[in-house]
Structure 1
Amino acid sequence: MVRSLYTAATGMMAQQMQIDVVSNNISNVNTIGYKKQRAEFADLFYQTMEYAGTSTSTTTQSPTGINVGLGVRPTAVTKIFSQGNFKETGNNLDVAIQGDGFFQVQLPDGRIAYTRDGAFKLDADGNIVTSDGYKLIPNITLPADTVQVSIGTDGTVSVLEAGQTQMQQIGQIEIAKFINPAGLHSLGSNLYIDTTASGDPIVSTPGLDGTGELRQGFVEMSNVQLVEEMTDLITGQRAYDAASKAIVTSDEMLQTVNNLKR
């Protein structure tokens, strides 16, 4: 009975993590470039009271043995990098990646971070930056007299300057791809950094080497599906309730044992 208390407690903690992950997904349903997370679990080790194949007589053996599980533990919270829906904005600096890949931006400490959020802006010097002011890598600076910006599917950036009649190419957007994007470390603010698990970035021109193409005037919305998240939320809540009932039942059984002396 004491074992069942601890076992049920691991179930409650696991379902709490499940609800935490689902809550984060729901909170970011409208976050540009957000990728949903999935909590994953595994059963704990088992207490073996009798091994399968143990002799039960001179001519028979136990066909299954006796193994009692000790609960559950979280093993991973995995990012799911499926494509989110596109939303047309009409903003020339909004860019979405159709397919695999990440934009590269430079953090204040000099590190390179990666993002799917293509809602870019201009800073005071005309540099293309994120909403937090991080410069796009390679750095692209628009001339002060720019009247029109064009970003091709292959990442070429061209501008039309005042008094000119033809577009001039001023830069090239490159995107990075990872063998294991789920191994990236989330920094928040739609940013990731590479790890030994993700592998080194494979930087390429959009549309080459398996990377996606760019779509100007669009942003990629979150890939969270509310129907799925609400279903997972209800499932987690019911599992949490069931685990708590197991604790109550075990407690009542212990109380019964304690009352035997009366």
Structure 2
Amino acid sequence: MDKSLYIAMTGASATLRAQAQVSHNLANTDTVGFQATLNGTVAAPVAGAGLASRVATMARDMGVSSAPGSITNTGNALDVALHGDRWLAVQDSSGGVAYTRAGNLKLNQNGLLTTASGLPVLDQSGAPMSIPPNDALDIAGDGTVSIVPQGQPASTMASVGRLQVVAANTRDLVRGEDGLMHAAPGATAPPPAAGTVLTSGVLEGSNVDGTGMLVSMIQLARQFEMQVRVLHSGDESARSANTLLSSR
């Protein structure tokens, strides 16, 4: 009987974690470049002294979805959508390199190119990308940034740098607590991507399937209810057994 209780208890715990991840996905349905978190459960033998006769349920993070998000035309020169398996390199809050598909870029008051959340975008050399004052700006398909210097004619458009865009499969990266993607521990940094890597003037939205996530939330809620019922049933059976034993 206690085996079923432990399985139901660990299953309920895993279900709660899954509900939290689904809630996180739903909260980011409208977040530019967001990729849904995948989750699952596995059977995990209980470690410890004695025979390996106990198995618990364990929640497992299965990474993030590599499905493409919807594309929206904005006409904004600073909006870019990364092509498949392409990632924009940014400087995270600790000064390290992280990767994102959120292409809604901004220029701050100091002329630094940043993400919408204020993280510096890196150039090919790994330095924060700085944009001089200009009258027009263009980001080419290979990530090259060109401008028309302030007060100059359109014919003077010149390149000021190139965005650092890398090539990596989603499964080879891990999402950090900051919501950004990072190279897996011990792995080498993703290589630079060649050729056409992005489209400017458009944005890639979240790849979260809102309807599917709502259905998953309902399924998980019912699953949790069933697991709790198993716990209550086990407790009642134990009480009944104790009553029978004490009556002798």
Question: Secondary structure of 1:136's match?
Answer: coil
Query: Which residue identity does 1:104 align to in structure 2?
Result: A
What's 2:135 paired with? 147
Provide the C-alpha distance between the structure 2 equivalents of 1:74 and 1:236, rounded to a whole number of angstroms. Answer: 13
SS at match of 1:141: coil
Structure 2 residue aligned with 1:249: 233
* Conserved? CA contact 1:187–1:193, under 8 Å: no
Segments of 5+ residues of structure 2 without an aligned counterpart are 47-51
Compared with structure 1, are the counterparts of its residues 108 and 232 closer, same or farther at alpha carbon in structure 2 (3 Å cutoff)? closer
Matches for 1:14-33 after TM superposition, within 5 Å:
14-33=14-33
Aligned length: 235
SS in 2 for 1:202: coil
Residue 196 of structure 1: CA displacement? Answer: 2.7
RMSD (Å), alpha carbons: 2.3
Amino acid at match of 1:90: G
Instruction: Name the CA distance, whole Å, in 2 between partners of 1:29 and 1:69.
Output: 39
Q: How do 1:1-262 residues align onto structure 2 when only pairs under 5 Å count?
A: 1-45=1-45, 70-107=55-92, 109-138=94-123, 139-144=128-133, 146-161=134-149, 162-166=151-155, 167-179=157-169, 181-188=171-178, 190-196=179-185, 199-207=188-196, 213-260=197-244, 261-262=246-247
Overall identity of the aligned pairs, in %: 26
Over 3 Å counting, the alpha-carbon distance change for 1:118 and 1:29 in structure 2 is same
Q: Secondary structure at the match of 2:192?
A: strand
Q: How big is the shift at 1:133?
A: 2.9
Change beyond 3 A, Cα 1:163–1:245: same
How far is the alpha carbon of 1:106 from its aligned partner? 2.1
Match of 2:49 in 1: none
What is the alpha-carbon distance in structure 1 between the residues aligned to residue 135 and residue 221 of structure 2? 54
| 3-state secondary structure, aligned to 2:40 | strand
- Amino acid of the structure 2 residue aligned with 1:150: D
| Paired residue type of 1:8 | A
Corresponding residue number in structure 2 for 1:49: none
Deviation at 1:108, TM superposition (A): 5.0
1:95 shift after superposition: 1.0
Amino acid at match of 2:214: M
For structure 1, the 5+ residue unaligned runs are 47-66, 208-212
**For residues 114 and 36 of structure 1, what CA distance do their matches in structure 2 show?**
15
Whole-angstrom distance in 2 between the partners of 1:225 and 1:200:
30
Question: Could you state the TM-score of these two structures normalised by the residue count of structure 1?
Answer: 0.81
Whole-angstrom CA distance in 2 between matches of 1:27 and 1:88: 23
Amino acid across the alignment from 2:161: G
* Inter-partner Cα distance in structure 1 for 2:17 and 2:187: 24
> 1:126·1:141 contact (CA, 8 Å) conserved in 2?
yes
Counterparts in 2 of 1:180 and 1:108: CA distance versus 1, 3 Å: closer
| Secondary structure at 1:184 match in 2 | strand
Shift of 1:122: 0.9
Compared CA separation, residues 112 and 206, structure 1 to 2 (3 A): farther
In 1, the alpha carbon distance for the partners of 2:33 and 2:187 equals 19
Q: TM-score scaled to structure 2, two decimals?
A: 0.85
User: 1:179 Cα deviation (Å)?
Assistant: 4.9
- The CA deviation string for residues 72-119 of structure 1, in whole angstroms up to 9 with x for no partner, is 112334211221111222221111102111111123543112111111
